[in-house]
Amino acid sequence: MRAAREALREAPRPRVVYTDLDGTLLGPGGSLFARSDGGVSGEAAAALASLHEVGISVVPVSGRTGDQVWEVSRVIGAIDYVSEMGGVLSFDRDAERVRRDGAYRGRATPHDAMLEAGAPGLLLDAFAGRLEPHAPWAFLPRVCSMLFRGQVDLAQVDATLEEAGYGWLTLLDNGVIPRPFRGLEVEEVHAYHLLPRGVTKATGVAAHRERRGLGVDECLAVGDSPSDAALAGEVGAVAIVANGRASVESSGSAADNVLATDGSHGAGFAEVVRALLG
Is residue 212 classed exposed, middle or buried when 0-12, 13-18 and 19+ CB atoms within 10 A define those classes? middle
Every domain of the chain with CATH number 3.40.50.1000 lies at 2-100+200-277
Which has the closest alpha carbon to 216: 204, 205, 228, 226?
205
Which residues of the chain does CATH 3.90.1070 include?
A: 110-196
Q: How far are the Cα atoms of 82, 159, 201, 216, 271 from residue 48, in angstroms, in the given order?
A: 18, 41, 21, 21, 12
CA 40 from chain centre, in angstroms, equals: 24
Separation between Cα atoms, residue 278 and residue 8, nearest integer Å: 9
DSSP, collapsed to helix, strand or coil, labels residue 16 as strand
In tens digits, what is the pLDDT along the chain, a chain of 278 residues? 999 999 998 889 999 999 999 999 999 999 999 998 999 999 999 999 999 999 999 999 999 999 999 999 999 999 999 999 999 999 999 999 999 999 999 999 999 999 999 999 999 999 999 999 999 999 999 999 999 999 999 999 999 999 999 999 999 999 999 999 998 999 999 999 999 999 999 999 999 999 999 999 999 999 999 999 999 999 999 999 999 999 999 988 779 999 999 999 999 999 999 999 98
> Sheet containing 189-196: which strands, arranged edge to edge?
131-133, 146-150, 189-196, 169-177
Q: Which fold has domain 110-196?
A: Hypothetical Protein Ta0175; Chain: A, domain 2 (3.90.1070)
The pLDDT value given to residue 69: 98
In this structure, which CATH number among 1.10.8.10, 3.40.50.1000, 3.40.50.720, 3.40.140.10 belongs to the domain 2-100+200-277? 3.40.50.1000
- Give the integer Cα–Cα distance in Å for 177 and 22: 9
Phi and psi at 122, nearest 5°, equal -60, -45
